[in-house]
């Protein structure tokens, strides 16, 4: 097996029959190429999506109110209701498993922006009322200035924090937005911060297209009383989010006279659960990739086996001559198996390299593409790990052995006498 001479012999046989070798190799090349490209793309998707949400607190849940769907305690079904500021302290007392709890309010209906003016420039953006703790749940990078603080809340200051898109459309690129004033729905607010979202999660509009006011300021200027539109909660370490989720729902419903069985009135999203589903999805993609990839590879291997069978027929005479002049069956088997392994491995290696090369190329293109502020691609770092590459190579060698087995056994069934007989 490790006799140099034998390798020379194989190499000569392959090199001198180029078309035949290429034809044989192509199937395997394609199989591995596809496997790598698919596995890499799967990873790229996973990386992209994960990077988009990774920084988001995985132990969080969100709540918002809807119309009730059941009559309860004298109230008819279809009632409009709101959570309120008192609920915050109430929940903190009743549910000790809560780590952070922050409210968030919105102006207008979901998705519709407010008109914002600065001098001659204007635009339509989402305006949100926020709490200092909110960035502990949905982290953001402060590019300039600061995020909303406790003093803003206490004094109901007329200040705001803007996203990157807001900056781009209302300011010149070299301008410093801090200290400048924006007129939002007729009221002036001073800009104190510029932020960039670290996640791709949007709550009532993307962060880069949003303006955050102090929560209390919003309640006052928009006459919201003590309404709370949206509640973000994180669970303490070691507590499953669903436990907190259930408790919060139970107490809020109790406090606002909503039927305990009403599933519509208080809506929620459990990020932990979403994460789990997502990782299940990615596992699914990975498994699918391997099934399809191995399938393609298998087809390639069967192709090699088939073509080698045809080749054996073509080579009947050659094999007959070899056997007549002293090649033992072992030599013939070894030669055909080795040819098969060399072909599949070389072809596979080329497929592997080209697959990895393609992924690398795509990666470069993605990275060099001018991304707009906060516009991160949902597909990054498409790559395969060394383990994947090595196991693919191992699969190849084994596959090559299998591919060679049938043709080899066919070859030694050829009797030299049959091979040599004149037509």
Partner 1 sequence: MIQISNLHKSYVMGHNSLHVLKGLELDIEEGEFVSIMGSSGSGKSTLLNILGILDDYDLGTYYLGGKLIQGLNETKAAITRNEMIGFIFQSFNLISFKNAMENVALPLYYQKVSRKKRNQIALEYLDRLGLKEWAHHLPSEMSGGQKQRVAIARALISQPQIILADEPTGALDSTTSFEVMDILKEINDQGKTVIIVTHEHDIAAMTKKIIRLKDGVIEEVIKNGDLQLFKDRVRTE
Chain contacts with partner 1 (rule: CB under 8 A): 3-5, 8-9, 12-13, 16-17, 317-318, 320-331, 412, 415-417, 420, 422
Indicate the residue among 121 and 313 with the shorter CB distance to partner 1: 313
Residue 236 vs 313, nearer CB to partner 1 = 313
Least distance to partner 1, CB of residue 287, Å: 45
CA-to-CA separations, 181 to 37, 111, 191, in angstroms, rounded: 51, 24, 6
Quote the least distance from Cβ 321 to partner 1, whole Å.
5
Structure tokens at 266: 């208080």
HSE-CB of 127 using CA atoms within 13 angstroms: 25
Q: Which is nearer to partner 1, 16 or 174 (CB)?
A: 16
Q: Are 101 and 59 in contact (CB under 8 A)?
A: no
The backbone torsions φ and ψ at residue 338, rounded to the nearest 5 degrees and listed phi first, read -65, -40
CB of 317 to partner 1, least distance (A): 7
Task: Quote the least distance from Cβ 361 to partner 1, whole Å.
Answer: 38
Identity of the residue, 13 or 28, whose beta carbon is nearer to partner 1 in the bound complex: 13
The DSSP call for residue 372 is: P
Q: Report how far residue 400's alpha carbon sits from residue 417's, in angstroms, rounded to the nearest whole number.
A: 29
Distance CA 331, CA 340 (A): 14
Nearer to partner 1, 177 or 334 (CB): 334
Distance of alpha carbon 163 from alpha carbon 102, whole angstroms = 20
CB of 14 to partner 1, least distance (A): 10
Residue with smaller CB distance to partner 1, 264 or 328? 328
Helix (H) or strand (E) holding 25: helix 18-53
Q: How many CA atoms lie less than 13 Å away from 414 in the CB half-sphere? A: 28
What lies within 8 Å, CB to CB, of 48 at 6+ separation is: 376, 377, 378, 379, 380
Contact criterion met (CB below 8 Å) for 403 and 308: yes
- Taking the least distance from each CB to partner 1, the nearer of 4 and 386 is 4
Q: Could you tell me the smallest distance in angstroms from the CB atom of residue 6 to partner 1?
A: 9
For the CB of residue 393, give the shortest distance to partner 1 in the complex, in Å: 29
Contact 189, 182 (CB under 8 A): yes
Q: How far apart are CA 389 and CA 381, in angstroms?
A: 16
């Amino acid at each position: 097996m490790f006799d140099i001479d034998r390798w020379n012999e194989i190499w000569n046989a392959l090199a001198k029959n180029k078309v035949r070798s290429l034809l044989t190799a192509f199937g395997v090349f394609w199989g591995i190429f596809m496997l790598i490209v698919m596995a890499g793309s799967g990873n790229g998707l996973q990386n992209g999506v994960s990077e988009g949400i990774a920084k988001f607190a995985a132990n969080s849940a969100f709540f918002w109110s809807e119309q009730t769907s059941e009559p309860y305690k004298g109230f008819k079904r279809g009632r409009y209701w709101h959570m309120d500021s008192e609920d915050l302290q109430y929940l903190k007392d009743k549910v000790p498993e809560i780590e952070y709890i922050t409210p968030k309010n919105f102006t207008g209906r979901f998705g519709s922006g407010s008109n914002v003016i600065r001098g001659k420039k204007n635009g339509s953006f989402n305006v949100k009322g926020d709490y200092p703790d909110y960035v502990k749940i949905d982290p953001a990078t402060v590019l300039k200035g600061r995020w909303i603080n406790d003093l803003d809340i206490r004094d109901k200051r007329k200040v705001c924090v803007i996203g990157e898109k807001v900056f781009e459309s209302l300011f010149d690129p070299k301008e410093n937005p801090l200290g400048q004033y924006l007129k939002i729905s007729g009221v002036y607010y001073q800009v104190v911060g510029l932020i960039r979202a670290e996640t791709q999660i949007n709550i009532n509009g993307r962060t880069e297209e949003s303006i955050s006011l102090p929560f209390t300021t919003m309640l006052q200027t928009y006459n919201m009383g003590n309404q709370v539109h949206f509640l973000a909660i994180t669970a303490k370490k070691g507590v499953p989010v669903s436990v907190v989720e259930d408790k919060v729902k139970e107490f809020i419903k109790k406090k606002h006279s909503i039927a305990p069985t009403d599933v519509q009135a208080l809506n929620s999203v459990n990020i932990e659960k979403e994460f789990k589903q997502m990782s299940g999805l990615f596992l699914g993609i990975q498994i699918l990739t391997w099934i399809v990839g191995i399938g393609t590879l298998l087809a390639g291997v069967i192709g090699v086996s088939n073509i080698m069978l045809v080749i054996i027929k073509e080579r009947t005479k050659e094999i007959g001559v070899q056997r007549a002049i002293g090649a033992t069956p072992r030599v013939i088997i070894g030669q055909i198996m080795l040819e098969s392994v060399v072909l599949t491995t070389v072809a596979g290696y080329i497929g592997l390299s080209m697959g990895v090369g393609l992924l690398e190329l795509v990666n470069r293109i993605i990275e060099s593409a001018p991304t707009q502020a906060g516009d991160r691609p949902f597909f990054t770092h498409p790559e395969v790990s060394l383990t994947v590459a090595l196991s693919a190579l191992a699969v190849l060698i084994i596959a090559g052995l299998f591919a060679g087995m049938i043709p080899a056994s066919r070859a030694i069934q050829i009797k030299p006498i049959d091979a040599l007989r004149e037509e």
